Amino acid sequence: MSDKKASNQMWGGRFASGPAAIMEAINASISFDRKLYAQDIRGSIAHSEMLAQTGIISAADQEKIAHGLNTILKEIEVGTFEFSTRLEDIHMNVEARLSDLIGSAAGRLHTARSRNDQVAVDLRLWVKDECFRVAEALKGLISAFLERAEEHAATVMPGFTHMQAAQPVTFGHHCMAYVEMFSRDLSRVRDAIERMDESPLGAAALAGTSFPIDRHQTAKALGFREPMRNSLDSVSDRDFALEFLALAAICATHLSRLAEEIIIWSTPQFGFIRLSDSFSTGSSIMPQKKNPDAAELVRGKTGRVTGHLVGLLMVMKGMPLTYGKDMQEDKESVFDAAETLDLMLAAMTGMVRDMTVNAAAMKKAAGSGHATATDLADWLVRTLGLPFREAHHVTGRAVALAEEKKVSLEKLSLEDLQSINPGITQDIFSVLAVQNSVKSRTSFGGTAPSEVRKQIRTWKKRIAKA
């Protein structure tokens, strides 16, 4: 069948000639929606089986349709299928080829179905499949962090607020913060799958159909929990795409925060970590440099993913029920965001697994900036019974004295400290060392190595069951 003939037939005789070149260019989506080929064929086979089961088409025609669709699937997978922009989209490209292969029986496939519910089910299947891929990638990243956390449960490093050294923590505890963060991303993915687990197939153009179809059968055949309950919503809903882009944007933001820390930590000024050569590049002019390009690209790609979310929100905000051609803009956003997120997750998992941790540099930095000042204040409250505000004031004077003497808090003499508060005893030095500081933070979720190891054990069990 020629492209022109197929195009005219598609328009149902309404137009005497094919669309102008500009209209063809703006209208066609085959350049990107060909990515839906497997879902489109899968949906068509399920639809044909239901049509035969309900007696709407014959078993013989269904057998021809299924054989033809499987042939097309193989052609696309081996690269011999010829896509045509004149046929607009993946649906019409497949249908035209099916007609070439099996003749008039192909025309029965579209009974009780519209491209509106067809594209809705195709994209929903694709996004659902992608969510499962993202979930596996997140589990891999979480597992990488659990390994590093276990390795460094007692490795002391500075904890920061406002990018200023605040209190000493452990690198294991820091890693576990990302376990929590990415586990929430995993939870959002699973929640999204639960909400999108309904089939729009059978809603037809917008109002359902008078044919005695079985939407529960097709929903089950396609792996959905149930069919969607309203035909108008079935063809107009793109919440599942928006929700995927939203969870992708949040996850990308988490990856960007991590990338920022990796970039900072790998500078000579920090020297906390060293990235492997696999995730670094050199300079064309400065031979001493080792650039964290992979982390920088992860950070940069976050704007791209977030942009896709905002873009589709703007498309959908003005859409009255039900379907409008505007919705064609959903696919490129979703496809690119998914591809970008997959790459970001893979790159970050590799960096976390491969990085070399400089425990000595972390420990040295943990002792800078009077990071155990809060431990001094807590000791004054706990041991001397001072109100915390008074203890805070005494500690502030101690910090000022240490800065004046150009030493750390723990290097102040007992006489120095007693000049500020006579009640201070030698016992104060048991809390001013960074190692003792982190060991003391045994509250649930705290940075004490014993607590970090408890959290690691908990999360290992959760991920094993996930």
Provide the annotated active-site residues: 162, 283
436: which 2 tokens?
Answer: 């003792």
CA distances from 121 to 70, 108, 225 (A): 19, 19, 13
258: which 2 tokens?
Answer: 């991590």
CA distances from 445 to 18, 169, 187, 273, 450 (A): 66, 12, 20, 24, 10
Q: Rounded CA gap, 43 and 118, in Å?
A: 8
Element containing residue 159 per DSSP (H, E): strand 156-161
Give φ, ψ of 416 to 5 degrees. Answer: -60, -45
DSSP per position, 225-272: SEE-S-HHHHHH--HHHHHHHHHHHHHHHHHHHHHHHHHHHTSTTT-S
Q: Rounded CA gap, 61 and 44, in Å?
A: 13
Q: How many residues are given for the chain?
A: 466
Instruction: Name the β-bridge partners of 160.
Output: 165
Where residue 55 falls (left for φ over 0; alpha for ψ -120 to 50; beta otherwise) is: left
Give φ, ψ of 157 to 5 degrees. Answer: -150, 165
Contact present, 152 and 171 (Cβ < 8 Å): yes
